[in-house]
């Protein structure tokens, strides 16, 4: 039996808050280990990276190039079967189309005071994309991270991925080349993040590092933040489904399990108004778990972190959804459009019965790199914006200057910044060539 | 004599890179101290905050309310003189106008496959604004952080500012109330950041923390990142001026000093094509330093961190400016519009001779919270976007689903995620109520 909450009860608020606070994922103190690795890479460069890679991944890199003859993207990509290439191409084109629509416009206007104002968007020059190895080595993640960078106009996209004992997924290699990766190093962990942030003799440092990774990678990104930009720190996957009597319980169960199967620390939550719907879905989950190859970790996730919440009505369901601020939110209800305006916090929203979250993982075109662990309260999924930045532009001619300078002067004086004040007053006190 | 570089020389690239790498600001290892303070606040809540505030600020807070009877925003604001209020009001309205123009639109489209796609922007619910005390306690910073949050639609804006021995600037208090701050706690340092991120019995945690602070505050923000959102980590101020023969050397000197006066670790750099312009500006800087109340720290900044770079032409100057990626870039040249398109990395650009950077600090309306320490390579100044997030929305009806499901299924199989695959296939294998 999965845990069940009743939103109309007095105890709900407190109990549910405690449930949401529950830490998932590793609690190990990795900060010190990561700090040491970063310091070592800063000091010894490629030598240190090669040593850690040999130790953690069992792969011998050339310390001066950070390459291995045994891991070649082109050779690997050649092993990717044609039907899988077709699916990757299909996903690639849809992701490219969606993100192309995100390009923001530059803006310029002259206000009443005669001051010219605006901003310009420009692309980052270089980005490092971290692609996890092992269980979570996904061609779809390569596309989701690389394609928006490419569309934004990033000049140099560097991909790193650990290749334990030289193993790397051919589909990952194909997706990387399809998306336009031209620089690749088979390395991972904190050492790869450090090499991307600080550079080595061979690898020029990048400006921003994106992509998910394990606890060591996440901590390394946190520690190099400021030196380089980073995307949101990724936690375990989550799905929240709001379902009513029009939902098919088997479909909802499949969707809940599609996130539960990622990792035992993943979280699947169902909100229903009609408790009978919850009963049916719970039964369907049990049935499906028995025939699922990933059933063991899905069951662990569902049992430890899953929940069914019975809400008094759909408005209350939306309000609970906002508290959860889930990475993925499915509205498997009769009229999702009526509920959508009440949804304030979620990474991505899936409307109606034919939009399972897995569709968004691959082919709707929207990005599957989304805020987890309630971060949708304050951050967005990956997008074109992550690879652009906005530069403000302003010009006061003599007239505009005269209109706004007095207030600036008064504030500079109040803030006891005499050189600020002088840079204003020196332009008002006399006529000069300007 | 300030250091001088010649961009046409062979040695320039290496020497200039070393100069840019030079660490400014404190190098102290504050991570451990900050981690301990955060852990203590998480454990003991308001009691811990009150203890640290008594210790570091000499101010006694009520541990249950985190307030002090001696620090009241309304009482303090009443002490702010009328002409200063007028200047604050003037700046407020211009900042509000500029940021109102930044509101991004929601987007919705249906693509060829019949899939409905788009995104919605929603505001954060709660934001904590950190306002530094002491030397850097500026009413302008209050406006720059609070006004965009308000315009974005943030419901709850919590301001914290250390009030050493109960001291707080009346102008800061007035600006806070003008901008709409309704919740204020006189506290600062890592303890304030921890209280904002994790909450206390009295203070509900916020979703994001913005605002500059000292090294302890910056480190605390880094450590709570993920739990809450944060803005870019602020470093020492910077100004870069590109000046030609049409520039007034006294004006340029005043502008260079307007950033140098902030802190000994601030950085002012001048790029000239004509070395004689550099000579004139350097002389003017020396002259002005002698009559500047903040001359001591401005001189320290100029001597230790300042530079004059002689570039072969303006194109080269723009390219050097991009390497520097300065917080503030002034184009004090005859035709700034011709050079602007070559500028890729800068926090804010100031065009022509009548737009001193200090104007942007206060009253042009654009934000003065800008990326420092070369972070303009990968991040933007504060803006409306920092208080909004983008939620992707997607709907595949039966037809759209049929068009894109096969590729999703193929990818789910390749990624060995059978529950993902099932959530697709279960919707294709039979007809159901959907």
Give a yes or no: residue A115 inside a domain: no
Distance CA B116, CA A351 (A): 9
Strand partners, A239: A268, A328
List, edge to edge, every strand of the sheet that includes A348-351: A4-6, A307-310, A267-272, A238-243, A328-332, A348-351, B388-396, B115-123, B107-110
Phi, psi of A67 (to 5 degrees): -120, 165
Q: Alpha helix locations (H) across A225-340? A: 249-260, 275-290, 295-305, 314-324, 336-339
B219 catalytic? Reply is no
Q: Do B124 and A378 touch (CB under 8 A)?
A: yes
CATH classification at residue A162: 3.40.50.1980
* B267 is known to lie in a ligand binding site: no
Q: Closest to A424 (Cβ–Cβ): which among B228, B344, B358? A: B358
Banded model confidence at residue A2, pLDDT cuts 50, 70, 90: confident
Residue of chain B minimizing CA distance to A340: B393
Mutation to test the A interface, candidates B29, B103, B389, most A Cβ within 10 Å = B389
Which residue of A lies nearest to B325 if distances are taken between CA atoms?
A: A391
Q: With b meaning 16 or more CB within 10 Å and e meaning fewer, what string describes A235-270?
A: bbbbbbbbbbeebbbbbbbbbbbbbbbbbbbbbbbb
Contact flag A87-B418 (C-beta cutoff 8 Å): no
Rounded to 5°, the CA angle B124-B130-B133 comes to 165
Q: Tell me the chain B residues in contact with residue A36 when contact means C-beta distances shorter than 8 Å.
A: none
Same domain, A188 and A335: no
For residues A212 and A299, state if they share a domain.
no
A22 lies in some domain: no
Contact A389 B379 (CB under 8 A): yes
Same domain, A257 and A223: no
Q: Is A386 annotated as a binding residue?
A: no
ipTM of the complex: 0.93
Greater pLDDT, B340 or A16: B340
What is the percentage of chain A residues whose pLDDT exceeds 70?
97
User: Which of A342, A257, A267 is CA-nearest to residue A309?
Assistant: A267
Q: Cβ of B395 and A232 within 8 Å? A: no
**Residue A102 counted as an annotated binding residue:** no
Judgement on whether residues A184 and A44 belong to the same structural domain of the protein: yes
Same domain, B51 and B156: yes
Facing residue for A87 by CB, picked from B31, B411, B420: B411
- Tell me if B178 sits within 8 A of B142, measured CB to CB: no
Q: What is the dihedral of CA A133, A138, A140, A144, to 10 degrees?
A: -20
B123 phi/psi in degrees, rounded to 5: -85, 155
Contact by Cβ (8 Å): A303, A309: no
Residue burial B150-189, b: 16+ Cβ < 10 Å; e: rest: bbbebeebbbbbbbbeebbbbbbbbbbbbbebeebbbbbb
Let me know: does B109 contact B118? Beta carbons within 8 Å.
yes
Same domain, A324 and A249: yes
Task: Please tell me the distance from the alpha carbon of residue B248 to that of residue B11, in angstroms, as a whole number.
Answer: 30
Q: Do B258 and A422 touch (CB under 8 A)?
A: yes
Q: How far apart are CA A340 and CA A342, in angstroms?
A: 5
The mean pLDDT value of chain A amounts to 94
- Order of all β-strands in the sheet with B183-185: B183-185, B156-160, B126-130, B208-210, B229-230
- What count of Cα atoms within 13 Å lies in the side-chain half-sphere of residue B363? 30
End-to-end Cα distance, chain B: 77
Residues B421 and B312 in one domain: no
Partner residue facing B91 (CB), from A125, A298, A411: A411
Residue A155, classified by CB atoms within 10 Å of its CB into exposed (0-12), middle (13-18) or buried (19+), is exposed
Residue numbers of A annotated as active site: 327-328
Burial of residue B399, with CB atoms counted within 10 A of its CB: 0-12 exposed, 13-18 middle, 19 or more buried: exposed
Residues of chain B where predicted confidence (pLDDT) is lower than 50: 431-434
CA distances to A46, A47, A161, A182 from A65, rounded to whole Å, are 8, 10, 15, 15
- Indicate yes or no: CB of A419 within 8 angstroms of CB of B381: no
Orientation angle between helical segments A139-152 and B398-414, nearest 10 degrees: 110
Residue that is written with structure tokens 């004040």 in the block: A421
What is the pLDDT confidence band of residue A24, given thresholds at 50, 70 and 90?
low
Tell me how far apart the alpha carbons of residues B286 and B276 are, in angstroms, rounded to a whole number: 16
Q: Which residue of chain B has the CA closest to A406? A: B87
Among residues B98, B379, B133, which one has the least CA distance to residue B234? B379
A254 interaction partners in chain B (CB closer than 8 Å) = 419, 422-423, 426
Distance from CA of A370 to the nearest CA of B (A): 9
Last residue of a domain, one of A230, A261, A284: A230
**Cβ of B395 and A122 within 8 Å?**
no
How many structural domains is chain A composed of? Answer: 3
Nearest Cα of chain B lies from the Cα of A217 at a distance, in angstroms, of 14
- Name the domain boundary from A204, A230, A256: A230
Q: Give the distance from residue A5's alpha carbon to the nearest chain B alpha carbon, in angstroms.
A: 23
Identify each DSSP E strand in B195-244 by its residue range.
Answer: 208-210, 229-230, 238-243
Rounded to the nearest angstrom, the minimum Cα separation between B107 and chain A is: 9
The set of residues, in sequence order, having a beta carbon less than 8 Å from that of A350 and lying 6+ positions away, is A328, A329, A330, A331, A356, A357, A359, A360, B394, B395
pLDDT of residue A3: 87
Predicted pLDDT of residue B22: 75
Residues A264, A376: one domain?
yes
Q: How confident is the model over A59-93, as pLDDT tens digits?
A: 999 999 999 998 999 999 999 999 999 999 999 99
Task: Give the confidence band of A433 by pLDDT, cuts at 50, 70, 90.
Answer: very low
Contacts of A370 in chain B (CB under 8 A): 392
Question: Is A415 annotated as belonging to a binding site?
Answer: yes
Chain B partners within 8 Å of A352 (Cβ): 395-397, 434
**Residue B360 in contact with residue B328, Cβ under 8 Å?**
yes
Tokens standing for residue A199:
């550079």
Question: How far apart are alpha carbons B236 and B221 in whole angstroms?
Answer: 16
As beta bridge partners, residue A267 has A238
The catalytically annotated residue of B92, B328, B353, B368 is B328
Using CB atoms, pick whichever of B140, B257, B408 lies closest to residue A419.
Answer: B257
Is B262 annotated in a binding site? The answer is yes
Assigned domain for B346 exists: yes
CB nearest to A392's CB, from B233, B367, B377: B367
- What is the token pair recorded at B14? 């290496």
Q: Is A214 labeled as ligand-binding?
A: yes
Does B415 count as an annotated binding residue?
A: yes
In a domain, A4, yes or no: no
Q: What percent of chain A has pLDDT over 90?
A: 85
Report the residue of chain B nearest A175, measured CA to CA: B411
Reduced to 3 states (helix: H, G, I; strand: E, B; else coil), residue A212 is coil
B408/A116 touch (CB, cutoff 8 Å), yes or no: no
Q: In the annotation, is B327 catalytic?
A: yes
Of the partner residues B222, B400, B418, the one whose CB lies closest to the CB of residue A294: B418
Rounded CA separation A158/B255 (Å): 39
Residues B258 and B341 in one domain: yes
**Interior angle at CA A433, CA A430 and CA B1, nearest 5:** 90
| Measured distance CA(A334)–CA(A273) in Å, rounded | 13
What the block records as the tokens of B179 is 């901008």
3-state secondary structure of B270: strand
Q: Which of A327-331, A343-347, B232-236 has the lowest mean pLDDT?
A: B232-236
- Other C-beta atoms within 10 Å of B79: how many? 11
CB contacts, 8 Å: A233 with chain B:
225-226
CB atoms under 10 Å from CB of B9, counted, come to 11
CB contact under 8 A, A366 and B87: no
Per-residue DSSP letter, B197: H
Distance CA A270, CA A5 (A): 10
The answer to whether A127 touches A207, Cβ cutoff 8 Å, is yes
pLDDT at B24: 65
Dig out the tokens for A174 from the structure.
């194909």
β-bridge mates for residue A120, sequence order? A391
Average confidence (pLDDT) over A355-359: 98
The answer to whether position A21 is within a domain reads: no
- The token duo for A37 is 């690795």
Beta carbons within 10 angstroms of residue A75's beta carbon? 12
Does residue A425 surpass a pLDDT of 90? yes
The answer to whether position B375 is within a domain reads: no
Contact A360 B394 (CB under 8 A): yes
**Which positions in chain B touch A323 (Cβ < 8 Å)?**
none
Cα B288 from Cα B281, distance rounded (Å): 10
Query: Does residue A252 form part of some domain?
Result: yes
Would you state the pLDDT for residue A434?
35
Chain B residues near residue A418 by CB distance under 8 angstroms: 261, 292-294
pLDDT number for residue A431: 46
- Alpha-carbon distance A207 to A126, whole Å? 5
Residues B409, B349 share a domain: no
pLDDT digits (tens, 9 = 90+) for A104-117: 999 999 999 999 99
Quote the CA–CA distance of A286 and A290 in Å, as a whole number. 7
Domain end marker among B208, B230, B252: B230
What three-state secondary structure class fits B9? coil
Do A179 and A51 lie in a common domain? yes
Residue A391 included in any domain: no
- In the three-class reduction of DSSP (H, G, I as helix; E, B as strand; rest coil), residue A376 is classed as helix
CB contact under 8 A, B408 and A363: yes
Domain that includes residue A352, residue range: 235-380
Q: Contact A419/B254, CB-based, under 8 Å? A: yes
Q: Which residues from B are below 8 Å from A235, CB to CB?
A: 226
Please indicate, yes or no, whether residues A241 and A225 belong to a single structural domain of this protein: no
């Amino acid at each position: 039996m999965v845990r069940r909450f009743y939103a109309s009860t007095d105890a709900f608020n407190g109990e549910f808050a405690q449930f949401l606070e529950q830490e998932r994922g590793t609690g190990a103190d990795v900060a010190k280990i990561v700090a040491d690795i970063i310091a070592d890479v800063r000091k010894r460069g490629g030598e240190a990276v090669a040593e850690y890679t040999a130790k953690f991944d069992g792969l011998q890199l050339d310390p001066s190039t950070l390459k291995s003859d045994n891991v070649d993207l082109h050779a690997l990509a050649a092993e990717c079967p044609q039907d899988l290439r077709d699916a990757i191409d299909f996903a690639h084109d849809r992701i490219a189309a969606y993100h192309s629509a995100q390009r923001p416009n530059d803006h310029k206007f002259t206000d009443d005071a005669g001051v010219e104002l605006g901003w310009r968007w420009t692309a980052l020059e270089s980005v490092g994309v971290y692609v996890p190895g092992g269980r979570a080595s996904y061609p779809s993640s390569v596309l989701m991270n690389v394609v928006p960078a490419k569309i934004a106009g990033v000049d140099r996209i560097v991909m790193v991925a650990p290749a334990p004992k030289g193993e790397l997924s051919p589909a990952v290699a194909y997706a990387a080349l399809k998306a336009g990766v031209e620089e690749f190093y088979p390395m991972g962990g904190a050492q790869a993040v450090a090499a991307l942030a600080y550079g080595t003799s061979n690898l020029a440092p990048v400006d921003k590092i994106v992509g998910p990774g394990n606890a060591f990678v996440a901590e390394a990104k946190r520690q190099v933040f400021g030196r380089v930009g980073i995307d949101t720190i990724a936690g375990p996957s989550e799905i929240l489904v709001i379902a009513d009597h029009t939902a098919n319980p088997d479909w909802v169960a499949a969707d809940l399990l599609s996130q539960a199967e990622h990792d035992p620390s993943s979280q699947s939550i169902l909100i229903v108004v009609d408790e009978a719907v919850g009963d049916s879905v719970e039964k369907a989950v049990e049935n499906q778990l028995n025939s699922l190859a990933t059933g063991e970790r899905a069951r662990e996730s569902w049992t430890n972190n899953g929940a069914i919440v019975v809400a008094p009505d759909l408005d209350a369901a939306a309000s609970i959804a906002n508290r959860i601020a889930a990475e993925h939110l499915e509205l498997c209800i009769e009229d999702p459009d009526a509920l959508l305006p009440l949804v304030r916090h979620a990474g991505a929203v899936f409307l109606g019965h034919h939009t399972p979250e897995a569709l968004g993982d691959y082919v709707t075109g929207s990005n599957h790199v989304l805020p987890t662990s309630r971060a949708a309260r304050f951050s967005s999924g990956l997008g074109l914006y992550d690879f652009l930045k906005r530069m403000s532009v302003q010009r006061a001619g003599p007239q505009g200057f005269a209109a706004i300078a007095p207030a600036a002067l008064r504030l500079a004086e109040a803030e006891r910044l005499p050189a600020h004040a002088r840079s204003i007053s020196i332009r008002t006190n006399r006529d000069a060539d300007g």
